[in-house]
């Protein structure tokens, strides 16, 4: 059995990237969304991407980013994967995938079974799903809110593409989340932070250990 891939999202400095690399994260996410406390500029992102290139997969998280802006970002940062975390349509996902010749991961908010069913429409135009909890009604940030959804909604679901589980995960509950959902991969952001937008190397390490420990028990 291959080990469960882990994505650490919203890193903003080399020290935290080094902590994630040392812990063994298969993916590291850079956030390009100004309203997020985890957002980085193109200049910062390019420097951070160069620091980790070849050591992990670089994921660029975009929220309804115009294609012209995405083209500039891709040219400067050269990410491995494009994560679309807004209200992007199937047509937009297909266009991004074709235009930039990179895998597309589409994030979808979940609060009920119908949200999982809605994901099937994206099956032909993306490479991976990311299921996150829907944000609170008063939030203008689509992810990284530390909210979980009912993991049993994913149990035994036969999706057309692989997926990552996100939303409210941390070292204390990720093993349960994997067991209940059967998720093949996980994503974490707020669950490895000491304060909003500030990553904690000890929490990153603990999260990866918890995932690896859960995998060994399977």
Residue numbers annotated as active site: 9, 132
* Distance, first Cα to last Cα, the chain: 9
Residues 6+ apart with CB under 8 A from 34: none
Distances, alpha carbon 59 to alpha carbons 8, 10, 78, 103, 177, in Å: 10, 10, 9, 10, 23
Q: How far apart are CA 123 and CA 6, in angstroms?
A: 22
Q: How far apart are CA 43 and CA 49, in angstroms?
A: 10
- Please, are residues 19 and 27 in contact by the beta-carbon 8 Å criterion? no
DSSP helix/strand/coil, 129: strand
As given in the structure block, the two tokens for residue 112 are 């009920």
Q: How far apart are CA 1 and CA 24, in angstroms?
A: 17
Burial label, 107 (beta-carbon count in 10 A; 0-12, 13-18, 19+): buried
DSSP helix/strand/coil, 83: strand
């Amino acid at each position: 059995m291959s080990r469960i891939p882990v994505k650490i999202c919203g890193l903003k400095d080399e020290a935290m990237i080094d902590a994630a690399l040392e812990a063994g994260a298969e993916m590291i996410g850079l956030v390009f969304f100004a309203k997020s406390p985890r957002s980085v500029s193109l200049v910062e992102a390019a420097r951070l991407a160069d620091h980790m290139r070849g050591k992990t997969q670089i994921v660029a998280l975009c929220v309804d980013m115009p294609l012209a802006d995405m083209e500039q970002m891709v040219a400067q940062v050269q990410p491995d994967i494009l994560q679309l975390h807004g209200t992007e349509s199937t047509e937009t996902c297909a266009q991004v995938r074709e235009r930039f010749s990179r895998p597309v991961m589409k994030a979808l908010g979940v609060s009920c079974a119908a949200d999982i069913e809605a994901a099937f429409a994206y099956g032909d135009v993306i490479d991976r799903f990311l299921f996150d909890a829907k944000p609170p009604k008063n939030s203008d940030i689509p992810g990284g809110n530390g909210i979980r959804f009912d993991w049993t909604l994913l149990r035994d679901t036969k999706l057309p593409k692989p997926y990552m589980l996100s939303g409210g995960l941390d070292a204390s509950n990720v093993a349960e989340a994997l067991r209940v959902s059967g998720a093949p991969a996980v994503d974490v952001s707020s669950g490895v932070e000491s304060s909003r937008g500030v990553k904690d190397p000890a929490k990153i390490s603990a999260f990866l250990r918890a995932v690896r420990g859960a995998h060994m028990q399977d």
